[in-house]
Chains A and B, each alone.
Chain A
């Protein structure tokens, strides 16, 4: 299973690490070479400096042979464009896109893209947390 991850921020690095530990083939892409510093020592995947909406870059890293593509840069539009290129130009079977803006998420879900909106998910989680009985947390004041 070969997965290409675009964006080596907190989420991208974490996901890459999880997949790498499972023994999967991981290629992680970022425009900033310093971003790869977030990956742990012993990370066996490949790190490529490049723009994930540039089809030449995607071709060079062998996106056509990838089984999955995930876009988690901070830019919704960049994620959306890269995912659509992966899906429609390179025919990657599994494409997942992070979109912060719920309105854009709804649009692209309707257009057939698999999307996750942290904004909605996290708001839900926070709401649920507020509705639960408060957990036993040690009081800080003595």
Chain B
């Protein structure tokens, strides 16, 4: 695979290193001369000095034959424009952008960037696991279909504790794919698997039914019962 990376900062550097080790053809585009030199010393002749949003630089980089285009500079606007150039001017099939402000995810998606990675969202996801108010964590959006893979931690007060998976009233088009117990052991559940407090449930669901799914796992046991 020919992979172009725009941005030779820490993320770009380690990404390039890994992708080269995996046997890919990699080119990093970076503006800063010192960063270019450092990368060339460490990783060899895989660096192009230039602006990854400039048409001419992208032309020289052979963007037209890239299989994958990844923009990981520190500025969301640069990542957006680089990916839009790659996608719309050079017809790169798959573009990936790092976004710093998680609120930019919607606009990136609307403008056709295939995948966005928000480091802020990833960090939030990890700390939100500890926060009972945010029990549902989006793990991955499946391209094109409005489906998401989400993770929910079952709180001890949840009404689903002790119930069989087959007895859960899940929203339409929602599938529980994996349950990871408190010891960290993942299982693919059957309808007979029972849900336990502290389980992490990984499910595929429609984006619009996320709230309903969250309610299933977090609604407490009704006191009248």
Q: Chain A residues in contact with chain B, CB under 8 A? A: 53-56, 75-78, 80-81, 84-85, 88-89, 101, 103-104, 107, 110-111
Which secondary structure dominates where chain B touches chain A? helix
Inside 8 A of A55's CB, which chain B residues have their CB? Answer: 103-104, 107
Q: Apart from A101-B53, A104-B55, what are 14 other A-B pairs with CB-CB below 8 Å?
A: A53-B76, A54-B101, A54-B103, A55-B103, A55-B104, A77-B78, A81-B81, A88-B111, A89-B107, A101-B55, A103-B54, A107-B85, A111-B84, A111-B88
B88 touches A104 (CB 8 A): no
Task: Name the residue of chain A whose CB is nearest to the CB of B51.
Answer: A101
Q: A87 to nearest B CB, angstroms?
A: 10
- Give the residue among B78, B80, B81, B89 with the most A Cβ atoms within 10 A: B81
Inside 8 A of A110's CB, which chain B residues have their CB? Answer: 88
Question: 7 closest pairs, A vs B, by CB?
Answer: A103-B55, A77-B77, A81-B77, A77-B81, A78-B77, A55-B103, A77-B78
Which secondary structure dominates where chain A touches chain B? helix
- Of B54, B75, B77, B89, the residue contacting A80 (CB under 8 A) is B77
Task: Name the residue of chain B whose CB is nearest to the CB of A56.
Answer: B103
Task: Name the residue of chain B whose CB is nearest to the CB of A78.
Answer: B77
B76 touches A104 (CB 8 A): no
Inside 8 A of B80's CB, which chain A residues have their CB? Answer: 77, 80-81, 84
A76 touches B101 (CB 8 A): no
Inside 8 A of A54's CB, which chain B residues have their CB? Answer: 101, 103
Task: Name the residue of chain A whose CB is nearest to the CB of B55.
Answer: A103
Inside 8 A of A75's CB, which chain B residues have their CB? Answer: 77
Task: Name the residue of chain B whose CB is nearest to the CB of A52.
Answer: B77
Q: A119 to nearest B CB, angstroms?
A: 13
Inside 8 A of B54's CB, which chain A residues have their CB? Answer: 101, 103
